[in-house]
Structure 1
Amino acid sequence: MCRHLAYVGDPQALGRLLTEPPHALYRQSWAPRHQRYGTVNADGFGVGWYAPGDPVPARYRRAGPIWADLSFADLARVVRTGALLAAVRDATEAGADGEAAAAPFAAGRWLFSHNGAVAGWPGSLAALSRTLPPADLLTLEARNDSALVWALVLARLRAGDPDGQALADTVTEVAAVAPGSRLNLLLTDGTTITATAWGDTLWYLRESGRGTVVASEPYDDDPRWRSVPDRTLLAAHRGDVLLTPLKHLDDEPVEDTDDAAPEEPRT
């Protein structure tokens, strides 16, 4: 469920990444090619981006489908950024949270998205929720599993954990109490992208000299797209991608090299 994408690199118009490619996030809202759970991503969307000289991102979120928002089409055409995180939300049961339930979630310099679902929600995370300060629970942006997972990640970030460790520890902790959960998490601070592949698809594209895209699925058929193995932590900068198995976080990360054979996108 859901599709998301993050980018760091040379400034690009939002539309260059989100609406113009033939299988962009915009099209994935009604015709995803790799989505294993759910069919239509029409229950909200959002994009967060960074302006030059400002470490705190701006956000634009709506409760409806991305294809119905003409204002976003204008934004995507003219707004340029060197870093963004965007998501379209899978159609689900009706709720009262509206656009507050749409990623990206934000705090300070961070943007966050969750592609997946917590098994047994909400009961499965009752014990973990009690590890959070009451103020964190009372200020959740929405009453869904993604918002609580974000609160767990954010608590670790605020305690000083590196981005990768915060995501990895949260994923393994949630998976332990809610087996069968799908926990593809995506986090950026405007300079780096950190992500987990846990139960759903994750891909990345390094555009030499321009930047790196990490996404639920490829937005075109460029043969340079590479699939991230399940149970993997990804850390990306402008031109580097490191992959670490989540079961063996003490192992040396594997750096992506251009001479490795890419996996062809499936259609």
Structure 2
Amino acid sequence: MSFTNYDLTMGWEQHKLIGIRNFMYLAFEDKDFWHSMKISLWFMVFTVVIEFLLGLAIALLFNRRIQGKRLWMSFLIIPMVITPTIISLIWKLMLNTEYGVLNYILSIFSIAKINWLGYENALWSVMMVDIWEWTPFVALILYAGLQSLPQEPYEAAVVDGGSPIQVFYYLTLPLLKPMILIALLLRSIDSLKIFDVVYGLTQGGPGNATELMSMHIYRIGFRHTNWIGRASANAIVLLFIVSLLTTILLRIMRRGTKEEY
């Protein structure tokens, strides 16, 4: 499909093979493609890093003896079990400039209203929603990893007089590395192909402020131009980026496994 000129306005029998022309168009003529790739990569890096840091902090907290742990964990997974469509609707109401709850809270402290879904803030708002939704997922993976760590190295570290920071840096992080890489891999892939929450919140707008690669594929393939061939070429590029990222992280995981043995 990516090597054809097919679009929804023509019958399949009318399509023609055009080689790599669609890919050449993306590379040299479609400025929106490069914009969508840039903000997609920025979206992935920012959200995954913040989700990892927050998820690690939550996992370390739950790994301690705290009262009501099961109850708190039940609350923690709520964002994960809500469908993305409902999440986008709830947050769209909360982020509304005139009657949203976030601006209401700001008004209590005499802070001016923020246009959360305006051009300058829309991408940050979408990233905030993604972090809220998927930080619990990272936290649960890391918490499961912490629960599975052997206790003997920690007992030896206590005997040797290791400080909590030293134990965390030289013991916990290396032992937790496989689970960290799994969490980073899953979230990186998912953040690159995010569509539903973005569509529900902004539909890629205003303008192209939140037009990630998935939204760009949807726009050129189904929304405005019906260029299925070009949309397919864009999807192939996204698949290549995801595959490359997956290969890199899997090699890091395998290298770490070999070093352990």
Indicate the TM-score class for this superposition, using the shorter chain for normalisation. under 0.3
* Bigger relative contact order (CA 8 A; separation at least 6): 2
TM-score, normalising length from structure 1?
A: 0.23
When you count helix as a share of all residues, which structure comes out higher?
A: 2
Structure having the higher Rg: 2
TM-score, normalising length from structure 2?
A: 0.23
When you count strand as a share of all residues, which structure comes out higher?
A: 1
